[in-house]
């Protein structure tokens, strides 16, 4: 299944807030529709499915990509759900969004795809690149690259940067201090339901 490229509000109305997907607000009318949909009693399967879909659309993953992350998390030490969220949060596109260097996760993905971003001095054009502690993320030394990031920084000047990251807006530079703490995950989600969903599919 390919990455979703349809209207974002359609998914937000169905799944609830997905703050990394778009900066726009659905408005009051759509909130009412969402409440009406939420009042319908859901089966346990549907609850697990919606949590999985929420994770998938927030981070902009294909079904195959998410399944791959779940399998990697299952083989790692520690609770599978927490490891899964750590893997997703340490993706380069998500790190750029959390630093404020991109307005949304899809916007961050575009920055990376168009080769505007360096990691440790080298161009990285893979949005799913897994960042590690002590990685240094900078804009390419070109006016266009810096202008794109400056526009994003200007649009959210008071955005709080998570404790596992450090931002130097003057030099268009971000530093990964450590693996993300679970308290800083950008999405309200029950990751155990996602793990359960996939465990029941096999």
The reply to whether 91-178 shares the fold of 8-87+184-201 is no
Task: State pTM to two decimals.
Answer: 0.80
The domain locations on the chain are 8-87+184-201, 91-178
Cα–Cα distance measured from residue 158 to residue 126, given in angstroms and rounded to the nearest whole number: 28
Q: Which residues 6+ apart lie within 8 Å of 39 measured at CB?
A: none
- The list of the chain residues with pLDDT below 70 reads 1-40, 157-158, 202
Per the rule left: phi > 0, alpha: psi between -120 and 50, beta: everything else, 17 is beta
**Amino acid 155: pLDDT:** 85
Give the CATH H-level superfamily of domain 8-87+184-201. Ribosomal protein S4/S9, N-terminal domain (1.10.1050.10)
**Residue 154 half-sphere exposure toward CB, CA atoms < 13 A:** 6
Q: What is the DSSP string of the chain?
A: -PPP-S-HHHHHHHH---TTT-SS---HHHHHHHHHHHTS---HHHHHHHHHHHHHHHHT--HHHHHHHHHHHHHSSS-HHHHHHHHHHTBHHHHHHHHTSSSSHHHHHHHHHTT-EEETTEE---TT-B--TT-EEEE-SSHHHHHHHHHHHHHSTTPPPPTTEEEETTTTEEEE-SSPPGGG-SS---HHHHHHHHHHH-
Residues near 73 by Cβ (< 8 Å), separated by ≥ 6?
80, 81, 83, 84, 87, 195
pLDDT digits (tens, 9 = 90+) for 93-132: 999 999 999 998 999 999 999 999 999 999 999 999 999 9
pLDDT computed for residue 1 by the predictor: 43
The domain made up of 91-178 has a fold known as 3.10.290
* CA–CA separation, 143 and 140 (whole Å): 8
By the 10 Å C-beta count (0-12 exposed, 13-18 middle, 19+ buried), 56 is classed as buried
So what's the pLDDT on residue 3? Answer: 55
- Count how many residues are written for the chain: 202
């Amino acid at each position: 299944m390919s990455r979703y490229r349809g209207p974002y509000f359609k998914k937000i109305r169905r799944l609830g807030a997905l703050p990394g997907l778009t900066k726009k607000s659905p408005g009051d009318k759509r909130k009412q529709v969402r409440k009406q949909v939420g009042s319908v009693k859901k089966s346990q399967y549907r609850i697990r499915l919606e949590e999985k879909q929420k994770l998938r659309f927030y981070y902009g993953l294909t079904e195959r990509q998410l399944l791959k992350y779940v399998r990697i998390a299952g083989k790692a030490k520690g609770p599978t759900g927490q490891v899964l969220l750590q893997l997703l949060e340490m993706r380069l596109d998500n790190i750029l969004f959390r630093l404020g260097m991109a307005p949304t996760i899809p916007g961050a993905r575009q920055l990376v795809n168009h080769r505007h971003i360096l990691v440790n001095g080298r161009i990285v054009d893979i949005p799913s690149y897994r960042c590690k502690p002590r990685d240094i993320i900078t804009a390419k030394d070109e006016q266009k690259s810096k202008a794109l990031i400056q526009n994003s920084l200007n649009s959210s000047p008071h955005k709080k940067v998570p404790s596992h990251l450090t931002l130097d807006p003057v030099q268009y530079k971000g530093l990964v201090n450590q693996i993300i703490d679970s308290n800083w995950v950008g999405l309200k989600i029950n990751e155990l339901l996602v793990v359960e969903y996939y465990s029941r599919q096999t």
